[in-house]
Chain A
Amino acid sequence: MTCEYNLYDPSWCPGCGNYMIRKALKQALEELEIPPHMAVIVTGIGQAAKMPHYIGANGFNGLHGRALPPAIGIKLSNKELTVIAESGDGDTYGEGGNHFIHTIRRNVNIAHFVHDNQIYGLTKGQGSPTTAMGQVTTLQFDGVKVEPVKPLALSLTMGAGFVARGFSGDIPQLVELMKEAIQYKGYAHLDIFQPCVVWNKVNTFQWYKDRVYKLPDDYDYTDFNAAYEKSLEFGDKIPTGILYKVEKEIYEDRFQFIKEGPPLVDAVLNPMDAEKLMKDFY
């Protein structure tokens, strides 16, 4: 039961945070004893989105910005699968912003890992939705002129029941956060800081390392107001860990036939089952 798979060498740059995230993901799936054929990694497009190619689990590498919709389609069709949506900050908060908002509203039982390096990698260094105002990039020569998205504050205010932040430089913590997110019943948003060694010369490994701190053990992650305050803390100190976690009804359970029946994919299809619908038209 291993997700190890060495068929291809990742095309990530040496030193990229994605290696650490992959290591943590593999470890989390193995420790949870989820067999590879029961896990699906769904991604969009970008460096982070190449994850399904470098891990031994089912994979759906779809379109830029569109990791969440197929993830939802998969989970609703087969509730027995562990579904993890994974993509970068541009993919998730930019191109896929609309899906992000509405996925939170639904609260489908999936985990969502966002590789947040505050820059576009694959397209070579343009500003992303989380790049700081004023930061000079390969496209924004005079500096970024719009304010960054605050991903955790956004998901919290939209009603997400699980909101967390990790850092690729702290694998043991990241493994635990991933396991918590996968096991959480509902939509779990985990934003993961990772340095982009080539394109982001501001938010470097050291930059993150100097700022991140773990939320204390006595932090009450069921306190929304505390979580909201923590979600906006983004300066000299940036908290990591579970900011918010409460129980919520999941979307699937609002459909009786999904909640109580077998997975949709196991339905026995018979045209005659629909014949009775015709009675309304006589």
Chain B
Amino acid sequence: MNYSILIGGAAGQGMDTLAQLLTKSLKRYGYFVFKHSDYMSRVRGGHNFIQIRFSDKQVYTYEDKVDIIYALNEETIDLHKDRLKEEGIILADTAVSEYKDLLLLDLEGTAKVAGNPRAMTSVGMGVIIKLLGLESEEALKVIETTLKDTIVEVNKEAFSKGYEMVQSRFNLEKLQDERILIDGNTSVALGAAAAGCRYYCGYPMTPSTTVLSNMEKWSMDLGIFTEQVEDEVAALNMALGASYAGVRAMTGSSGGGIALMSEALSLAGIIETPVVIVNVQRPGPATGLPTRTEQADLRFVIHSGHGEFPKMVISLRSVEDAFYQTARAFNLAEKYQIPVILLSDQYLADGETAVEPFDFKNIAIERNLHEGKLPEGRYKRYLLTDNGVSPRIIPGKAEDKIILVDSDEHDEYGNITESAAVRKSMVDKRNKKGELLEVEIQEPWLIGEDKPDNLLVCWGSVYGPVKEAMEMLQEEGYSVGALIYGDIYPFPTKLLKENVSAAKKIIDIENNSTAQLDGLMREFALIKSDVRILKYDGRAFSVDELYKRLKEVVE
């Protein structure tokens, strides 16, 4: 089973609250839910819509066809009526539309009777829950626990009145609910909190802001220092100070903010100070499309920061992956004393998904700080070792040791030098850590068939639609499998090489216009895709669209 509800209207019509209540209710009724918001970069007006998809199986993406459209204005009907499934229903207030064949109800009038016309969306919610055939109790509980005390009663009343207005049309049942409902940014923040992050500062930038606001919310409780700082330059430089002092530190932004951080990223490289940075991508260049999605910063972050230094880039594939990889990033950053960049995007960041609860027992905190005795005499922060990693201690903890880090090229003590020999040995030292990373990296997930005829390759959040579209093709008998990259720089090549030999077609799927993953495959594995399915209109792939485009090319 698989249903989708679309709610459309102008910004400021109460759509967000309704979608939040409805999504949470459907999760409580025991369904896997995925909520996807399509909103414009404005506070009032415009056309926004939210799609809520639910199923008895895990869903990570949205579909084009919908079962119910709740139109808060006429424009919603104009724009989306063709997406309605055959048995679908368009619900609207009588004032909204004069279209024929709609379920037109006096929603606003009913809300007035319930006590407040602004509770109209709750009337609509009652109608929808009833249409689905679900009992009202869970939804009422969600309203009670989510809304402000002063408006709970009127909304419950509005919901109940709406619930009474119609007959059930779909006969859904309540299932077992033991899941959490969470979006990508919150999962990143939760992963950081689990990893013992004690510093997160940033500057507001859509769509990364909610990582910061979540950390801020938990700040006092967990003792995490968070602040909105003057700019992204300060955010990363402060993080490096915090990390130097021994605190697990992270910052994040979107493309433009990450660009501002690139100088300090380079600093992290030469002072060998661990830090985690999340780039929640949105379409560029420059301001681009602030509230929309794209995967176009892969090359940018790999090459970000002047000079040569090792770094690691991990793309996040789902909300669970976002949680576990964020926690892992802190360990990697400290193990190799490097910056680790997490690549998310607006689609993953804002897409609320019902998933199994995260397993905090599975999170290990590995600081890799040097313990035990150090040699007498001055501490060498950049001691040349066989593998390039120097024993790291923090200031103020050893009476006879001072710690010096330097953005200039430096000797083992951290002192500025222009010696040609030292310069070369320090470059080699840093590069050796990059070689260790090549061993550390995780191969991509291989889903579907092993060594398939049609090998799909993708990275990050495209995982959701790729997985579903691939499964649809498998059901039709196609030989298809997919490599889903998480760790992406350094670039893992083992599974790719193993799978290409048997493949008749390599199909690269990305949310950008230049096939950046395909470029990495060519650079690091000398492998080129045969077909590229690219999307760069600021929107994520829907399952239907991707299925259709794949169907045209699979063998």
Pairing of A with B: yes
**What residue in chain B is nearest A71 (Cβ atoms)?**
B241
Encode A113-132 as 1/0 by CB contact (under 8 A) with B: 00000000000000000000
Known A40-B395, A56-B402, A58-B403; judge A73-B240 contact (CB<8 A): yes
Whether B194 and A271, one on each chain, are in contact in the complex, defined by CB atoms closer than 8 angstroms, is yes
Known A37-B400, A102-B230, A274-B360; judge A73-B415 contact (CB<8 A): no
Is A66 interfacial (CB 8 A cutoff)?
yes
Which residues in window 357-416 of B have CB below 8 A to A?
A: 357-358, 360-361, 363-365, 367, 378, 394-408, 413-416
> B249: which of A8, A73, A270 is its contact (CB, 8 Å)?
A73
Known A7-B413, A59-B404, A102-B229; judge A76-B242 contact (CB<8 A): yes
Assembled-state Cα–Cα distance A257/B222 (Å): 9
B44 → chain A, closest Cβ, in Å? 28
Whether A265 and B223, one on each chain, are in contact in the complex, defined by CB atoms closer than 8 angstroms, is no
Is B133 interfacial (CB 8 A cutoff)?
no
B493 → chain A, closest Cβ, in Å? 32
Known A69-B234, A70-B240, A265-B247; judge A58-B404 contact (CB<8 A): yes
Chain A interface extent, by class:
35 or more
> A98: which of B231, B249, B263 is its contact (CB, 8 Å)?
B231
> A271: which of B181, B195, B223, B396 is its contact (CB, 8 Å)?
B195
Whether A70 and B241, one on each chain, are in contact in the complex, defined by CB atoms closer than 8 angstroms, is yes
Which residues in window 239-282 of A have CB below 8 A to B?
A: 255-258, 261, 264-265, 267, 269-275, 277-278, 281-282
B59 → chain A, closest Cβ, in Å? 17
B413 → chain A, closest Cβ, in Å? 7
Whether B239 and A66, one on each chain, are in contact in the complex, defined by CB atoms closer than 8 angstroms, is no
B254 → chain A, closest Cβ, in Å? 20
Whether A256 and B193, one on each chain, are in contact in the complex, defined by CB atoms closer than 8 angstroms, is no
**What residue in chain B is nearest A41 (Cβ atoms)?**
B404
Whether B199 and A73, one on each chain, are in contact in the complex, defined by CB atoms closer than 8 angstroms, is yes
Is B327 interfacial (CB 8 A cutoff)?
yes
Assembled-state Cα–Cα distance A60/B387 (Å): 24
Which residues in window 84-122 of A have CB below 8 A to B?
A: 98-99, 101-102
Encode A28-57 as 1/0 by CB contact (under 8 A) with B: 000000011110101001000010110011
**What residue in chain A is nearest B365 (Cβ atoms)?**
A269
Whether B241 and A73, one on each chain, are in contact in the complex, defined by CB atoms closer than 8 angstroms, is yes
Known A37-B401, A99-B234; judge A73-B242 contact (CB<8 A): yes
Whether B238 and A37, one on each chain, are in contact in the complex, defined by CB atoms closer than 8 angstroms, is no
Whether B196 and A58, one on each chain, are in contact in the complex, defined by CB atoms closer than 8 angstroms, is no
Whether B223 and A257, one on each chain, are in contact in the complex, defined by CB atoms closer than 8 angstroms, is yes
Whether B230 and A101, one on each chain, are in contact in the complex, defined by CB atoms closer than 8 angstroms, is yes
Is A62 interfacial (CB 8 A cutoff)?
yes
Known A37-B398, A77-B245; judge A59-B199 contact (CB<8 A): no
Complex interface: chain B residues within 8 A of A63 (CB): 237, 263-264, 267, 407
Whether B196 and A271, one on each chain, are in contact in the complex, defined by CB atoms closer than 8 angstroms, is yes
Complex interface: chain A residues within 8 A of B240 (CB): 62, 70, 73
Assembled-state Cα–Cα distance A144/B198 (Å): 45
Is B421 interfacial (CB 8 A cutoff)?
no
Which residues in window 127-157 of A have CB below 8 A to B?
A: none
Complex interface: chain B residues within 8 A of A11 (CB): 416
Question: Known pairs A40-B245, A60-B271. 17 more at Cβ < 8 A?
Answer: A53-B415, A58-B403, A59-B405, A60-B404, A60-B405, A73-B199, A73-B242, A78-B245, A81-B395, A102-B229, A264-B198, A265-B245, A265-B394, A269-B195, A272-B361, A277-B190, A281-B182
Q: Which 6 A-B pairs have the closest CB atoms?
A: A73-B241, A70-B241, A269-B196, A69-B237, A77-B245, A73-B242
Could you name 14 residue pairs across A and B whose Cβ atoms are closer than 8 Å?
A61-B404, A61-B408, A63-B267, A70-B240, A71-B241, A73-B199, A73-B245, A77-B242, A81-B395, A81-B396, A102-B234, A267-B198, A272-B360, A281-B181
